[in-house]
Structure 1
Amino acid sequence: MRRTTRVVVAAVAALACVAGLGACAQIPTSGPVRVSTADQDPQADLALLPQGPTPGAEPNFIVQGFLGAVVAAPTSPKEYQTAREFLTEDAAETWDPYASVRVVREPPMPDPFETGTDIEGAETLDVVVRATTIATLDTAGAYTEAAEPGKVSYQFTLTKVGEEWRISVLDNGVLVPANLFPTQFRATRLYFSAEGEDANSLIPDLRWFPRNSWRLDAVEELLAGPPEWLQGAARSLFPEGTQLASPTIQEADGDEPVAVRLSEQISSATGAQRSSIAAQISATFSEGAGRTVPVDLYNGTSRLAVDAVNVKLPATIVQAMFLKDDQLYRIDEDGRPVEHDLPVDLATLDPTALAVSPATKPIVVRDGTDRIVNVSVDGEDRPDIEGPDLAAPSVDKFGNTWTSGGTNDLRVLPASGTEVTVPAEWLGGRKVLSVSVSPEGARIAIVSHAPSGTQVQVAGIVRNDDDVPVGLAPPLTVAGPVDGVEEARWSGLTTLSLLTRDRDGVSGVWTAGVGGQPGAGGQSRQLPGLTDVQQLAAGVTDRGLLVVTKDGDLEHEETGVWQPLVEDVDLVAYPG
């Protein structure tokens, strides 16, 4: 949502009269009711028509009308034109709706005037609107949940212009009621190319854009390049200086390609780069459309030659595994448990965590809390990771085993067998509880603890030419309002499943979005009924979440209801 050579729509406020907009869903009639973990956005479009000031309206109704006109802006061709009719000329020229975007819990409404206020005799009056902030949206469309809801108040000063009240002073920025946020903003995953040789391996980054300009906003943000938290893990293929050459991007009819017109710099891109750029934009436009949306690239008005390429999105391919009675099992394609074909003897170990590489090997277990062992190596020397309070391991697609390493760094054992330390100064003074590398190997989710509480952060992974990690990008904090997180696992392209535990030992399972959660208006949400979970496993797969209860029952989700799969299970893990 950057403003460059064009005007873009920003955030919205709302009236109580539209607060009831929503959707209905069927609820299972048997078994415990638990919410699905699918990270989907219904992407419903809702057009609202703004109404201008009513002649003779009192100050509170002018403010209320202004809020109503603003809520219509993101889906109205008039955008903020009608909203500015409620302002004086000077205020209309200086008011910047893009400066501050707050997602608020309740629809903001004007406070009533104190008893005895002389409305008729006054020339100026102040009207206050109060709300509770639960999230913010920056100018690039990045969504951040507030760790604690914060009370905010907006003051409007109204002045008589002739015989009509108009707003003469107001704060820059706008408020977005949470229930209307997903109807006004579209959850949009941008896709950036991974660093390294494979430009068609795509890394998703979720943003939120106004629905009447989301395609244009998405392309502008792709042109701006990866965000800070993906620096070194993702890259831009656009030649430096490339900009949009058209102020609009229109959806094409049927299966016709969408025309994306760029400045002359795009002509310096190689044929392979142009093909990858078109694939990135196509993947961004296709999500939520129910079909593949083809893209044509233009240098101004000249169509560029672009070859079709196959892109790779993050996905968990290998089946989930579990440990029972010192034996490894896998869950086959039909969802049935079968004994793993790898002979493993764990009788001499105290397995407390299990991890498997997306490349099938290595398979590692944490022995107690101070050693991580590669159990997929038989009869060969196998280096272990040893040290106090090791976090449950994660194994990436390159065969690197990750765990904690005290403060300021992580410990990684590559497939080569030579352990490396990955620095992360932002972990200073914090104990790492959980690490989880995403399927494509470019992102890591870390849960850490300090006296101030637990924190969930996601960062890009910087690797050398041998795919060994050498550093992490600055982190992005997610799931701000979720307390007591013990474990985080990737359960969607940009979604994490979280295991929490309160001071009484009662567990909870949450889903949270990296950049907001599609289908939930950006907010983290708890899955109802899960209070006895000992461990969870998740993957970027249609198979869904797996949990092990305190009684050792392995359960899986079917259409929102949890069903028992295997009894007396010790550990479970998806690859990653």
Structure 2
Amino acid sequence: MRRAAHVAIALVVTLASGAGLGACAQIPMSGPVRVGNADVEAQGDIALLPHGPGAGAAPNAIVSGFLGAAVAATTSPKEFQTAREFLTADAKWDPQESVRVVREAPMPEPFDRGIELEGTDTVEIVVRATTIATLDSVGAYTEVGTPRELGYRFTLVKVGGEWRISALDNGVLVPANLFANQYRATRLFFPASNNVKSLVPDLRWFPRRNWRTVAVEEMLAGPPEWLQGAAQSLVPEGTQLASPSVQGTDDEEAVAVRLSEEISDARADQRAVIAAQLSATFSEGAGRTIAVDLFSGTNRLSVPATDVDLPATIVQPMALKDDLLYLVENGRLEDFDMPVDLSGINPTALALSPAARPIVVRDGHDRIVNVSLDGGPLTLMTGSDLAAPSVDKFEATWTSGGSGELRVAMGEGTDEDPLEEVTLKPDWLSGRKVISVSVAPEGSRVAIVSEAPSGTQVQVAGIVRDADGTPADLASAISVGAPVADVEEARWAGLTTLALLTRNNEGTSGVWTAGVGGLAGTGGQSRQLPGLTDVEQLAAGVTEQGILVVTKGGDLEHEETGVWQPFAEDVDLVAFPG
């Protein structure tokens, strides 16, 4: 009997490329779920129609065909059926386990079938690709900090004279230029733990073929680990989809979401919020508000109207110039009617509360001061090398503490609102120095930049608060913008978007946008904004006003269609609320 031989072959992944069709979309912003601006693309679905294996196909053609069919499955009505035609009947493969987004495929090494396959009935093929991001089984996208080329092995055997794949890794390899066409950036929304009417967004990526169905399933599963304790689920335990799919509508009709009988255990006010969560998800990119009808099996449930809030920066940004505060409005500085006393203070950072007060500054780098009190400046915190402060919607001021610490000062420091300071020490910050902190507008998420000898890192975590709204802990963190080096500041610039300021060893700055869960509109990858290399300070908000920067020369600039436009001179500091 002839012994099976093994042959290793290098193979390129070749797939038809599809250009991304990024565009602005519409989502609700506050109050009842309604149409507003968003950064999720309204891209039409483009189906890739895969073909099964051809008769007499060589091993490299079988693997190439399989990879193409696996990618196409997310838009193909046949799903993974065609891809499985390239496998043996007993091959084990779970395509849902993970997705690896690969930069590009290398050229294949020459393969002489007549020489290398002679006398062979088992072949091993190695596909080499550079992974730049991963997508896990629940649609969570993570950029790879240091992309590197890896080898993915496929074992092929002959079945009835035809080559088929008998062993392979789980998951799917998707070229970056096809990812946004195959997977849809989809925001889920969960009620905040301390306010069910405040919805906290969580960006996921789902197969375009059935994104609504998967979105409902993941919403029913509850908040992810990084929002545990910061957000909650109102869905009764055990509730599942009672229909095989959730279909969209092309007219003004509501989307029917049919759930198992457990949903009947939810109170009417809870059902109203659940419907609002789904409406917010379905409405993104639709250009209109999409209503949702909830069903328990075949019985339509009564769902009262309710108002919910999505994160939004409401108060105007402010600029500090010549020791005076100005409102930044419509591309110009407007007088602010509340004087501030900055005598004896060296302002190096400015922060505003979404509730209008307090207004705080960092004095030098070792004192945080409330400058919005009638009685004059009041010291909130002192310490060594404090991070620029962030003031949340609960009027709490955040900055850095010791190694691995955050400090939070609650209250304005008056007799009516005395100071209370708490220190947070999440395990994932251990051994790192916090250099930037920014609380999201809804007060349930915080973006932190920290540094260690290995470099800087941007992370976002849910804020766990007690019954009074005081921060008690941070949930586990997720990494954001991992490929972006030398980050010194992060600010919220969208529902799930951060603006990042970088500075290298030569002092050259850069401005980036990065997504919490991937950047919608770019296929997930962080993006550098061109044009400026001398930025001293950055400000951003969840608003249409966009990113503001102050240059080393004191110019206050904002971006318009990719071009930075100066509109004020001799500005010292600028800040959005938060």
Specify if TM > 0.5: yes
Name the structure 2 match of 1:361.
357
Structure 1 partner of 2:7:
none
**Residues 229-260 of structure 1: CA distance to partner in whole angstroms, max 9, x if unpaired?**
11111000001111111111111240111111
Shift in Å at residue 117 of structure 1? 3.2
1:179-204 superposed Cα distances (whole Å, 9 cap, x missing partner): 111000000000000112x3121000
What is the letter of the counterpart of residue 225 of structure 2?
Answer: E
Verify the 8 A CA contact 2:367 2:379 in the aligned structure 1.
no
Aligned residues of 1:109 and 1:129 also touching (Cα < 8 A): no
SS in 2 for 1:16: coil
2:288 corresponding residue in structure 1: 291
Bigger shift: 109-118 or 247-256?
109-118
TM-score (norm 2): 0.92
Return closer, same or farther for 1:470/1:165 CA change in 2, 3 Å cut-off.
Answer: same
The answer (yes or no) to whether the contact 2:252–2:290 under 8 Å persists in 1 is yes
Aligned length: 549
1:556 maps to 2:558: yes
Q: In the alignment, what sits opposite 1:405? A: 401
Q: Aligned pair 1:452/2:449, yes or no? A: no
Structure 2 distance, partners of 1:89, 1:420, is 60
The answer for the alignment partner of 1:8 in structure 2 is none
CA distance in 2, matches of 1:160, 1:513: 45
1:346 corresponding residue in structure 2: 342
**Equivalent residue for 1:324?**
321
TM-score under structure 1 normalisation?
0.92
Q: Distance between the aligned counterparts of 1:24 and 1:221, measured in 2?
A: 25
Moved more, 98-107 or 293-302: 98-107
TM-aligned CA deviation for residue 228 of structure 1: 0.9
Q: How far, CA to CA, are the matches of 2:112 and 2:508 in structure 1?
A: 47
Q: Please, which of 229, 232, 244 is the counterpart of residue 229 of structure 2?
A: 232
Aligned: 1:132 with 2:130: yes
**CA distances 1:315-365 after superposition (whole Å, capped 9, x unpaired):** 001111011111111112x33211211111213110000000011110000
Q: Paired residue for 2:465?
A: 463
The superposition leaves residues 101-121 of structure 1 with CA deviations (integer Å, 9 ceiling, x where unpaired) of 211101477544369733254
- The 8 Å contact of residues 14 and 70 in structure 1, kept in 2 or not, is answered as no
Q: Encode CA deviations 1:149-172: one digit per residue, 9 max, x unaligned.
A: 021111222222223222222222
User: SS state of the match for residue 179, structure 1?
Assistant: helix
Deviation, 1:40, is 3.0
- In 2, Cα distance between the equivalents of 1:482 and 1:229? 21
Matched, 1:69 2:66: no
**Which position in structure 1 is the counterpart of 2:41?**
41
Q: Please give the alpha-carbon distance, in whole angstroms, between the structure 2 residues aligned to 1:296 and 1:175.
A: 37
Counterparts in 2 of 1:400 and 1:451: CA distance versus 1, 3 Å:
same
Matched residue, 1:184: 182
The residue aligned with 1:10 is none
Distance (Å, rounded) in 1 between the aligned partners of 2:109 and 2:289: 48
C-alpha separation in 2, matches of 1:363 and 1:24: 38
The corresponding residue for 1:153 is 151
On the 8 A contact 1:108/1:131 being kept in 2, the answer is yes
Matched letter for residue 264 of structure 2: S
Give the corresponding residue for 1:52. 52
Measure, in 2, the Cα distance between the counterparts of 1:41 and 1:530.
Answer: 26
**CA RMSD for the aligned pairs?**
1.9
**Residue 206 (1) aligns with residue 208 (2):** no
Report if the CA contact (8 A) 1:409-1:423 is conserved: yes
Give, in whole Å, the separation in 1 of the partners of 2:512 and 2:420: 36
**Distance of 1:288 and 1:108 partners within structure 2:** 35
CA deviation string 1:35-71 (max 9, x = no partner)? xx97332333111111111112221111111122112
Which amino acid counterpart does residue 237 of structure 1 have in structure 2?
L
Aligned counterparts of 1:109 and 1:395: Cα–Cα separation in 2? 52
Question: Distance in 2 between the 1:169 and 1:466 partners?
Answer: 55
Letter of the 1:346 counterpart: L
Per-residue Cα deviation, 1:520-569 (whole angstroms, up to 9, x for no partner) = 11111111122110100000000000001111100012222211111111
Matched-pair contact (CA < 8 Å) for 1:536–1:548: yes
SS in 1 for 2:147: strand
> Is the Cα contact below 8 Å between 1:128 and 1:153 reproduced in 2?
yes
**Does the CA-based 8 Å contact 1:43-1:187 persist in structure 2?**
no
Question: Structure 1 residue aligned with 2:437, among 435, 458, 465?
Answer: 435
Structure 2 unaligned residues grouped into runs of 5+ = 1-10, 24-36, 412-416
Q: For the Cα contact (< 8 Å) 2:436–2:490, is it kept in 1? A: yes
Name the counterpart of 2:567: 565
The secondary structure found in structure 2 opposite 1:213 is: helix
Q: Which amino acid in 2 is paired with 1:353?
A: A
Percent identity between matched residues is 68
Say yes or no: does 1:122 pair with 2:120.
yes
**Residues 1:17 and 1:460: Cα distance change in structure 2 (over 3 Å):** closer
Q: Which residues in structure 2 correspond to 1:376-387 (within 5 Å)?
A: 376-379=372-375, 382-387=378-383
Contact 2:71 2:173 in 1 (8 A): no
In the alignment, the residues of structure 2 paired with residue 331 and residue 472 of structure 1 have an alpha-carbon distance, to the nearest angstrom, of: 33
Q: Secondary structure at the match of 2:218?
A: helix
Q: Distance in 2 between matches of 1:473 and 1:109?
A: 44
Q: Is the 8 A contact 1:108 1:177 kept in 2?
A: no
1:414-448 Cα distance to aligned partner (Å, 9 max, x none): 11312222232322211110000000111000001
Any idea what SS the aligned residue of 1:74 has? Answer: coil
Q: State how far apart, in whole Å, the 2-side matches of 1:507 and 1:565 are.
A: 20
Q: What per-residue deviation string (whole Å, max 9, x for no partner) do you get for residues 362-399 of structure 1?
A: 00000000001000012168342111111000000111
Letter of the 2:128 counterpart: R
* Secondary structure in structure 1 of the residue aligned to 2:309: coil
- Measured in 2, the distance between the counterparts of 1:394 and 1:140 equals 32
Question: What SS does the aligned partner of 2:144 have?
Answer: strand
Question: Does the CA-based 8 Å contact 1:192-1:234 persist in structure 2?
Answer: yes
Q: Using the TM superposition, give the Cα deviation of residue 499 of structure 1 relative to its aligned residue in structure 2, in angstroms.
A: 0.3
Is 1:258 the counterpart of 2:255? The answer is yes
Equivalence for 2:242: 245
Structure 1 residue 487 displacement after superposition: 0.2
